[in-house]
């Protein structure tokens, strides 16, 4: 059995594994896809102290760093179920999709999240070529250009306000007949001179020249016609979905499905910790996930030294 078993191999999981292994305890990482969302990222310019890197390069460096330690990396393994310890000093079990099962004295959940997509023609083709999901990450790439934000909830309206300070013009497109964001955000948004808002509009296609985005089409849900917006970038803000479906009913999740943790990364289950985008941590970013993974590993170690001997 492991002392610490990390589920998920993104920035949070890699940091957790390194921090745990450095305590000289038996550490394992089971990940569906080692590297996580970083593998899907092109330029990264906010990984502090590294001016510019690329996703696949950072993912390879994460794996290399983890391999420097005695960590059992189980890649391409999806966890399906968590069985809590039956009592103090007992083991926690993680069941894998392939039928195998792993046992550990403590577990760190770092299964990350995925952006909800529009699922319209062109979205996949122009991903990272104008279609973006993270304003904190990619906003500065569109300096002085025209962009749209899809989604009028809090994250969409926050993104539009944020981007309006960087780009030349923002078009906010909302499916509903009204914005769903907090009133104070809506007021701020409406005060900005370079933002326009289109309501009752369903994005139907991302347009491009084969290399990069140059527009989008939407259906007017009231009048029924089609609208065309010329632009260089599209930020999709219709939800970040935590990869926690398999944990439902096992431990406490927020209304959005995020694993509820305290400031030490402790979940509602003894011996089970969590870190990164899968949790209630505010702001989903690489450096934040790494910090949270380190916190969770130190908390797991603290838990182990206080636990009854096996």
For residue 158, the surrounding DSSP H or E stretch is helix 154-164
Query: Contacting ligand FAD (CB under 6 A), which of 19, 34, 218, 273?
Result: 34
| Pair 153, 176: CB distance under 8 Å | no
Q: Is 11 a binder of ligand FAD (CB under 6 A)?
A: yes
Q: Which residue's CB is nearer to ligand FAD, number 26 or number 78?
A: 78
Residue 238 lies near ligand FAD (rule: CB under 6 A): no
Is residue 9 within the footprint of ligand FAD (CB under 6 A)? yes
**How far apart are CB 172 and ligand FAD at their closest, in Å?**
20
Residues in Cβ contact with 276 at an 8 Å cutoff, skipping those fewer than 6 apart: 8, 10, 11, 12, 13, 110, 112, 284, 288, 289, 292, 293
The residue from 156, 276, 296, 297 that contacts ligand FAD (CB under 6 A) is: 276
Q: Is 246 in the site for ligand FAD (CB under 6 A)?
A: yes
Distance separating alpha carbons of residues 26 and 137, to the nearest angstrom: 35
**Residues 155-214 within binding reach of ligand FAD (CB under 6 A):** none
Q: CA 228, CA 238: separation in Å to the nearest integer?
A: 20
For residue 200, give the DSSP letter.
S
Stretch that binds ligand FAD, among 20-28, 33-41, 62-70, 207-215 (CB under 6 A): 33-41
Among 23, 26, 40, 180, binds ligand FAD (CB under 6 A): 40
Coil/strand/helix, residue 17: helix
How many whole angstroms separate alpha carbon 297 and alpha carbon 275?
9
Q: Is residue 134 within the footprint of ligand FAD (CB under 6 A)?
A: yes
36 scored as a contact of ligand FAD (CB under 6 A): yes
Number of residues that this document lists for the chain: 310
Residues in 112-131 that interact with ligand FAD by CB under 6 A: 112-113, 115
37 near ligand FAD, rule: CB under 6 A: yes
Strands 27-31 and 2-7: parallel
Contact 67, 35 (CB under 8 A): no
Contacts of 42 (CB under 8 A, 6+ apart): 54, 55, 128
Per CB under 6 A, the list member of 92, 148, 259, 286 interacting with ligand FAD is 286
Scanning 11-19, 66-74, 144-152, 256-264 for contacts with ligand FAD by CB under 6 A, the matching segment is 11-19
Task: Give me the least distance between CB of 33 and ligand FAD, in Å please.
Answer: 4
* Site of interaction with ligand FAD (CB under 6 A): 7-13, 30-34, 36-38, 40-41, 44, 46, 78-79, 110-113, 115, 133-134, 137, 243, 246, 276-278, 284-287, 289
């Amino acid at each position: 059995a492991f002392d610490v078993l990390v589920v998920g191999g993104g920035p949070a999981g890699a940091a957790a594994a390194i921090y745990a292994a450095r305590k000289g305890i038996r550490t394992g990482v089971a990940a569906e896809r080692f590297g996580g969302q970083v593998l899907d990222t092109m330029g990264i310019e906010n990984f502090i102290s590294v001016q510019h890197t690329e996703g696949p390069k950072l993912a390879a460096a994460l794996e290399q760093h983890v391999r420097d330690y005695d960590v059992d990396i189980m890649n391409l393994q999806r966890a399906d179920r968590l069985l809590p310890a039956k009592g103090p000093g007992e083991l926690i079990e993680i069941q894998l999709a392939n039928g195998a099962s792993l046992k550990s004295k403590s577990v760190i959940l770092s299964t990350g999240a995925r952006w909800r997509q529009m699922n319209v023609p062109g979205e996949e083709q122009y991903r990272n070529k104008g279609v973006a999901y993270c304003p904190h990450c990619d906003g500065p790439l569109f300096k002085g250009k025209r962009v749209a934000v899809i989604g009028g909830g809090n994250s969409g309206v926050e993104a539009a306000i944020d981007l309006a300070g960087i780009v030349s013009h923002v078009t906010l497109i909302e499916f509903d007949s009204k914005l769903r964001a907090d009133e104070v955000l809506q007021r701020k948004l409406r005060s900005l001179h370079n933002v326009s808002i289109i309501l009752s509009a369903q994005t139907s296609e991302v347009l491009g020249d084969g290399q990069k985005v140059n527009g989008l089409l939407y259906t007017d849900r009231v009048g029924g016609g089609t609208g065309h917006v010329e632009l260089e970038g599209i930020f999709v803000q219709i939800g970040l979905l935590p990869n926690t479906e398999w944990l439902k009913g096992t431990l406490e999740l927020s209304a959005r499905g995020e694993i509820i943790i305290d400031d030490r990364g402790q979940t509602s289950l003894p011996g089970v910790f969590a870190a990164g985008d899968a949790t209630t941590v505010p702001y989903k970013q690489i450096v934040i996930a790494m910090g949270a993974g380190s916190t969770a590993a130190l908390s797991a170690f603290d838990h182990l030294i206080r636990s009854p001997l096996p």
